[in-house]
Each structure stands twice: as C-alpha cells, then as structure tokens.
Amino acid sequence: MIIVIDGMNQHKFKDILDEMYQLRARVFGDRLGWDVTIQDGREIDRFDTLNPAHVVSLNDEGNVVGCMRLLQTTGPHMLADVFNAILDGEPPVRSAQIWEATRFCVDTKKLGRGRGENSVSYVTSEVMIGSFEYAKSAGVLDSIAVIDPVMNRVLQRSGNAPYDYLGTAKPMGKVVAMAALMDCSDERISGIRDYAGIAHDVFLTDEQALQLFAKSNVKPQPKPANFDHKPLSQMEKYFVEQMSAATTQEEVNAVLRLIEELSDKFTPEQKIALMRSPRALAHGA
Amino acid sequence: MKLIDLAAIDHEEKSAADIIDAVCSELGFDYASYATFNPVKGDVQGYANYPDEWKIHYGTQGFHKFDPTLYQSVLSIAPVDWGRFNHDDKFHTVFRDAHDFGITTRGLSVPVRGPYGECGLLNVTRDCSDDEWDKLKRHVMGDLQLAAVHAHDTVMQSGLLGKALYLPALSTREKEILQWAAVGKSQQDIGDILSISHRTVEVHMRSGREKLGALTTPQAIGRAVSLGLIAPG
C-alpha cells in the first residue's frame, strides 16, 4: 500500500522516511554504485530538503519496500541540476504539468520474483500507480523519470513502457541512467492496474500508514547484560535489576556511577555489556 | 514583515492581477489571490480580488504571518485542498474571521516553485456543495496549475534582475518544434517529420509555451520570433 509523504505531513512519518533513506542507500549506493552521498547508512541529497513528495510502498508487515520521489519541473530538480549530462547540454523541460520522478527503487532483498503481492513486479506497479494517480489529481499530464535500463525493462514488461526518452542514456556509476517520458493518463494507469491485478485504491490515510508501519516496529526485547553469553554473576544480576527498576534519569545515573565504581570487579567486556544493555531496558521503560 | 498589495503600488504590472481575475471568471471561483515571499525581507507580496474590507482586516490582523494557506501549502508539490490543513489555532483564527467576510473554508492552494527555489502560491475559493466542489476541482486542476505558474512568472519577471534571470532557455527540440509550428505544421505532422511521438511533441510544446510565458502556441510562436529564437514562418 502507498503513502504519499510531503512537507505537510513529514513530521508524522520520520521513521518511515528514515527506513526509506536506508533502502535508497542499499539500492543506489551498494547495488547500483551511483555517485550518491551516504551517511550513517542513509542516502539523502539536497533535493530531499526541498520538500519533495515521496511515494512510499509499505508491505503487509509494514516495511518500506519501494519508493519514488516527485519534484516540480518548474523549480530545482535533478535533470536540471544533477543529471543534465543526460540532456546533452540542452536546457531541461519546464512545465507546471510535468513532474520529475527520481530515486525510483524497490527492495529486491525483501521482494521475490514472479508477480504475486510480495514481488518486485507488484511493488513496482504499485509505486507507479500511486505516483501517476497522485500526479493526475494534481492536474499533471506527464512525468519525466530518471531510471536505469533494468528499471526500463521492468516498465516495458509491466504494461507501462515509456513513450519516449529525452537526451541520451549516460553512464552513472555501475549502470546507465536515462530520462524516460510517461503520460499520467487513465489509459496508462489502467494498463498497469490490469497487468499487476491491482483493482483496489492503493492509498493509505496518514493514520492507516502509521498503524501499518507500527507493525514492523515491534522490536524483540533486548536481553539482559549477557552479550558474552556467559551466565550472569550475582553482581551483574543485581545491576540489571536495579537498572530495570530505575524510573528516573537520576536513578539510572546512580546505577551507572555504581557500576563505574565497581569496575575492578568485572572484565572489560562485562562492564561494557552492563553499561550498554540495561540502559536500553531503562530507556524502553 | 509587511503585506504588500502589488496592484496598489505597481501600475505597470497589472497582468498578474488580470490572471487572478481571469481565474475567477473563467474557471468558476468566487475569489483568487497570488502571493509570494520576498526572499530577502520575508515580506508577503501579491494580488487578491477579495473584498477590500477583508484585505484590510487581513493585513491589520497580520494574518499573513501565519495563514496556513501560505505556510502549509508551500510544503506541498501538489495543489492543497484547504480540507487538508490541521484545524489548529492558526487555522481557526484566520478562517473564523474569513467566515464573517463571506469566505468559506472551501478552497485550494496551488504551490509554484521557481528555478531559483523561490515559491509562489495561487489561492482560489468558492462557496459550493461537496459534489460541486469535487467536480470543479477535477475539471480545472490543470488550468489552475498553468494559471499559477503564469502568475508567478509574471510577478518574478517584473524588475530588471528578474527579467535577465528569466530569459527563456529553449532547448533545440523546443525551438525546432516551435519552428515547424510557425510554418503551419500540426502536432501530428511535426511528430512524423521529427520521427517522435505526438505526445513527445506536446511535451516540448507545453514546456516551450511555459518558458515563454505564453498561454497558446500562436502566442509562443510570436514571442519566440520577437526574441529571435526562431525565424518567422
């Protein structure tokens, strides 16, 4: 299912965006080898700070499995400022009724082959339906998408072939980037829907998206301080209990100070484990 | 931060006000306004055809400092239905008073982003039923997008610096297609001549028209000829 995250609602979806930036780092940095900036395992560029619209696909478990970023071609966008090599020195198109789609990717690790609901093909179609329907309702007629030849073939096979390309394909990291034109028309949308067998409304409300995402976020409880897999000593058990019972930051600090004072009773590994893992417990409480 | 009524101070630049009026009469809205933020001083400047009493009240109350139709809508790339705003204090403060002046919460804000990252907003409102509103929105969304970008470019091109920065940069394809249109070829013909689809011709044509600030292809040809970008047909 699709949630559109833009500048107006992004404050509600920080965690979803964070997961999306990680997916983009895996795809564009690790797999495709594009020249992108990755920090702390997240791929974020300056266009993300311009309040673009992110079309994000969540699977039934609430994980981010696909995304695409939309920008107006009237303002700063990637074909004008970054991918202009593709245009062979020509100025980019500019129209209120043409949007640019970039950073289109799906999670090939979480998704399988074939055409079922958890397949690359299904999520690709879902993201495209979401973007085209969102664009169409905004009065947009065409989109220009920066994609690689693999994505291009996926589109051609899924009832969603670009009707033309601008400029010429150019090498970009390990692969080639190209600018594909697609109309945001009823014909195209119904073509993709027929191919993917998606008849339902793909959009989630903000509340539904938050609920679905929360499903993926039930983290297993961190185990008490036995990262070294040895049975806990009496003293370690005591500290774990103290830390679990702490309700304020002062109490947590008091326990930490006590651990510090008794450091000579522990191996360095035991100490690190104690300092780290009970704090996670206390933080969760 | 000031609120500047451009129509009151700049008589040469009436055309953005004309666009606002045309939006109302041709697309069926009660009132419309265009606003942009001065990037240097942060002033809000624009045109509106709201009743004068409301404009005065709006300015004296300083609504332009927190009006959600300005500050929320610039965060979106798509037109924002006013129904999407959070109904917080700011919203109620503006729209409670607006109601007293006959302006309802049924409206749309169309955000425009310019090439230098500057933002503009076209706001439209109409008092009507839910059904009527949904139908109207679907029908006029494309035209509103065009009107918004025209109003924005018109305001930005006033002033010499703006004019220099906004000199249209047409691509070879855009010029080529306008040149063929100038000698009377149809879109289908041009597609055949250049061996591209008529949809691609339309995309370049639309982009060329907007870069030239033209509403129609004949107008775009006229401007392109006068700027020396293409030869007379």
- Across A141-155, A209-223, A241-255, A267-281, least confident range: A267-281
CB contact set of B146 (below 8 Å; sequence gap of 6+): A96, A97, B210, B215
Contacts of A141 in chain B (CB under 8 A): 142, 206
Nearest-Cα distance to chain A for B205, in Å, is 10
Instruction: Kindly list the domain boundaries of chain B, sorted by start residue.
Output: 3-162, 168-226
- Are residues A174 and A276 located together in one domain of the fold? no
A166-193, pLDDT tens digit by residue?
A: 999 999 877 899 999 999 999 999 999 9
Q: Are residues A116 and A197 in the same domain?
A: yes
Cβ partners under 8 Å of residue A280, min gap 6: A222
Tell me the pLDDT band of B96, cut-offs 50, 70 and 90. Answer: very high
C-alpha to C-alpha distance for A178 and A148, rounded to whole angstroms: 6
Q: Please write the tens of the pLDDT for every residue from B97-106.
A: 999 999 999 9
Verify that A209 and A251 share a domain, yes or no: no
Q: What is the C-alpha to C-alpha distance for residues B209 and A85, in angstroms, rounded to an integer? A: 24
Say whether residue B204 is in contact with chain A using an 8 A CB cutoff. yes
Of A175, A122, A184, the closest CA to residue A146 belongs to A175
For residues A244 and A206, membership in a common domain is answered with no
Q: How many CB pairs below 8 Å do chains A and B form together?
A: 116
Q: Do A88 and A211 belong together in one domain?
A: yes
Say whether pLDDT at A33 is over 70.
Answer: yes
B173 to chain A: closest CA residue: A90
CATH of the domain at A188: 3.40.630.30
* Separation of alpha carbons A235 and A162, rounded Å: 67
Identity at A240, one-letter amino acid code: V
Q: Are residues A164 and A46 in the same domain?
A: yes
The CATH code that applies to domain B3-162 is 3.30.450.80
> Smallest CA–CA separation between A173 and chain B, in Å?
27
Each residue of A45-84: pLDDT tens digit? 999 999 999 999 999 999 999 999 999 999 999 999 899 9
Task: Write the single-letter amino acid at A66.
Answer: G
User: Is A97–B206 a contact, with Cβ atoms under 8 angstroms apart?
Assistant: yes
Query: Are residue A139 and residue A274 in the same domain, yes or no?
Result: no
What average pLDDT does the segment B209-232 reach?
Answer: 90
B36, B37, B77, best to mutate vs chain A, most A CBs in 10 Å: B77
A222 located within any domain: no
Specify the pLDDT at position A118: 87
Q: pLDDT averaged over chain A?
A: 88
Question: Could you tell me if B7 lies within 8 Å of chain A, comparing CB atoms?
Answer: no
C-alpha dihedral (A123, A126, A127, A131), degrees to nearest 10: 170
3-state helix, strand, coil in chain A (%, to 5): 45, 20, 35
The structural architecture, per CATH, of the domain B168-226 is: Orthogonal Bundle (1.10)
Q: A168 is in which domain, residue-wise?
A: 2-216
A284 pLDDT above the threshold of 50: no
The yes-or-no verdict on residue A274 having pLDDT over 80 is no
Percent with pLDDT over 70 in chain B = 88
- Asked if B178 contacts B170 with a C-beta cutoff of 8 angstroms, the reply is yes
Query: Rounded distance, CA A171 to CA A153, Å?
Result: 17
Has residue A225 been placed in a domain? no
How confident is the model at residue B81, as a pLDDT?
Answer: 96
- Summary mean pLDDT of chain B: 88
Q: Are residues A156 and A205 in the same domain?
A: yes
Q: Pick the residue from chain A with its C-alpha nearest to B135.
A: A137
Q: Which of A166, A182, A216 is a domain's end point? A: A216
| Contact between residue B67 and residue B90 where contact means Cβ atoms under 8 Å apart | yes
In this predicted structure, the answer to whether residue B42 has a pLDDT above a threshold of 50 is yes
Residue B115: its chain A contacts at CB < 8 A?
74-76, 80, 94
Over residues B118-131, the pLDDT tens digits come to 899 999 999 999 99
For residue A54, being part of any structural domain is answered with yes
Q: Is residue A229 part of a domain?
A: no
What is the model's pLDDT at position B63?
Answer: 94
**Against a cut of 0.80, is the pTM above it?**
no
Residues A201 and A250 in one domain: no
Quickly state the pLDDT bin for A282 (edges 50, 70, 90). Answer: very low
A126 neighbors A196 (Cβ within 8 angstroms): yes
What's residue A281's pLDDT? 43
Average pLDDT, integer, range A115-131 = 92
Is B112–A181 a contact, with Cβ atoms under 8 angstroms apart?
Answer: no
| pLDDT higher at A247 or A160 | A160
Give chain A positions within 8 Å (CB) of B143. 139
Res. A283 pLDDT band, cuts 50 70 90: very low
Number of domains comprising chain A: 2
Q: By the 8 A CB rule, do A125 and A168 touch?
A: no
DSSP SS3 for B194: helix
CB A195 within 8 A of CB A159: yes
B71 is written with which tokens?
């500050």
